[in-house]
């Protein structure tokens, strides 16, 4: 393959795959993705002291005690 | 400014995430642009930019502040893009249609038919990734050979050899398809 052939195929390649316009940056902020990938910075939400089940149980007990005050000694016994 | 920059680089080397974010903000555009030149697809370029900065952070202890960040980042970006090219069979993704949205306008030679251009793009996608990446950067993107060499971690002579081999293989592939470039 001589220099002419080389230049010809380069020209054909540039016609087939034109250079990209790389002036524009990414379409969005990639920093959150980087943080996710690193698993730093984005601190996982601390495990709440009260899970929804705990809240529901407490609410149930309060309602039960309000309706049946006589149940209080039973609860105290089992605590 | 110089002290500020070297301060950030030194902090980054120690694993400081704020310094890393500062470097990310400063260099993400350039890294993204470099990767886009190689993979020719904005979504993939974004994905690989994230991958690159992840690799950069992971390697912070090996970073030499005296040698600058940009070249080092570009080399890691090139490696990430090369790994991606190796992992994917990207023939179809190198078609003219898929990169139309990022391709700079170019005056089409009327002597070269759309079919020949399509076959050339597909043949180029069949080249070994190491040759393809060198030819993409040096021939299509017309980047200085010393920059390509630095990004690939090889000599300028090795870049020339890879480009030559890429062009020769491309020519053979096209000839097999009855196209005489």
Is A30–B135 a contact, with Cβ atoms under 8 angstroms apart? no
Q: What is the pLDDT of residues A37-66, one digit of tens each?
A: 987 544 444 444 556 777 888 888 888 888
Contacts of B54 in chain A (CB under 8 A): 34, 37-38
Contacts of A8 in chain B (CB under 8 A): 181
Of residues B85, B81, B97, the one with CA closest to residue B45: B81
Contacts of A37 in chain B (CB under 8 A): 50-51, 53-54
Q: Is residue B43 predicted with pLDDT exceeding 50?
A: yes
Q: Is residue B70 predicted with pLDDT exceeding 50?
A: yes
According to the model, what pLDDT value does residue A61 have?
A: 83
Q: What is the pLDDT of residues B113-150, one digit of tens each?
A: 888 888 999 999 999 999 999 999 999 999 999 999 99
Extents of the domains making up chain A: 54-79
Extents of the domains making up chain B: 2-87, 92-176
According to the model, what pLDDT value does residue B97 have?
A: 47
The class (CATH top level) of B92-176 is mainly alpha
Rounded mean pLDDT, B147-176:
95
* B4 confidence band (pLDDT: 50, 70, 90): low
For B31-35, B38-42, B49-53, B102-106, which range has the lowest pLDDT when averaged over its residues?
A: B102-106
pTM (2 decimals)? Answer: 0.75
Q: How many CB pairs under 8 A join A and B?
A: 129
Chosen for mutation from A3, A11, A26, A41 (greatest number of chain B CBs closer than 10 Å) is: A26
Query: In this structure, what DSSP letter does residue A28 have?
Result: S
Q: Is B15 on the interface with A (CB under 8 A)?
A: no
Region B2-87: CATH code: 1.10.1740.10
Cβ count within 10 A of residue B24: 22
State both tokens at A27. Answer: 């379409």
Q: What is the DSSP string of B21-60?
A: HHHHHHHHHHHHHHHHHHH--HHHHHHHHHHHHHHHHHTG
According to the model, what pLDDT value does residue B113 have?
A: 81
Of residues B44, B175, B174, B45, the one with CA closest to residue B121: B174
* Averaged confidence pLDDT in chain B: 87
According to the model, what pLDDT value does residue A42 have?
A: 43
Greatest mean pLDDT range, B2-6, B158-162, B173-177: B158-162
According to the model, what pLDDT value does residue A49 have?
A: 52
For A22-26, A51-55, B94-98, which range has the lowest pLDDT when averaged over its residues?
A: B94-98
Is A30–B124 a contact, with Cβ atoms under 8 angstroms apart? no
In terms of residues, how long is chain B? 181
Residues 25-84 of B with CB under 8 A from A: 25, 28-29, 32-34, 36-37, 40, 42, 45-46, 49-51, 53-54, 57
Three-state SS letters, B81-135: HHHHHHHCCCCHHHCCCCCCCCECCCCCCCCCCHHHHHHHHHHHHCCCHHHHHHH
How distant is the Cα of A4 from the closest Cα of chain B, in angstroms? Answer: 11
ipTM over 0.90: no
Is B108–A5 a contact, with Cβ atoms under 8 angstroms apart? no
């Amino acid at each position: 393959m001589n220099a002419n052939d080389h230049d010809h195929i380069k020209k054909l390649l540039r016609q087939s795959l034109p250079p990209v316009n790389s002036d524009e940056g990414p379409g969005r902020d990639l920093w959150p993705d980087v943080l996710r990938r690193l698993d730093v910075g984005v601190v996982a939400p601390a495990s709440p002291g009260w899970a929804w089940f705990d809240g529901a149980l407490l609410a149930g007990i309060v309602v039960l005690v309000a309706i049946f005050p006589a149940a209080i000694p039973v609860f105290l016994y089992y605590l | 400014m110089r002290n500020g920059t070297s301060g950030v680089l030194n902090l980054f080397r120690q694993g400081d995430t704020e310094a890393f974010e500062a470097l990310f903000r400063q260099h993400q555009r350039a890294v993204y642009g470099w990767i886009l030149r190689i993979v020719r697809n904005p979504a993939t370029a974004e994905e690989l930019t994230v991958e690159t900065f992840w690799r950069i952070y992971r390697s912070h202890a090996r970073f030499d502040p005296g040698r600058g960040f940009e070249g080092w980042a570009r080399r890691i970006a090139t490696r990430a893009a090369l790994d991606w090219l190796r992992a994917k069979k990207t023939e179809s993704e190198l078609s003219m249609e898929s990169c139309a949205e990022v391709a700079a306008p170019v005056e089409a030679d009327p002597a070269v038919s759309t079919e020949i251009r399509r076959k050339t793009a597909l043949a180029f996608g069949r080249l070994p990734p190491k040759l393809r990446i060198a030819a993409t950067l040096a021939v299509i993107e017309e980047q200085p050979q010393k920059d390509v060499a630095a990004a690939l971690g090889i000599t300028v002579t090795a870049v020339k050899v890879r480009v030559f081999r890429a062009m020769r293989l491309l020519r053979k592939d096209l000839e097999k398809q009855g196209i005489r470039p």
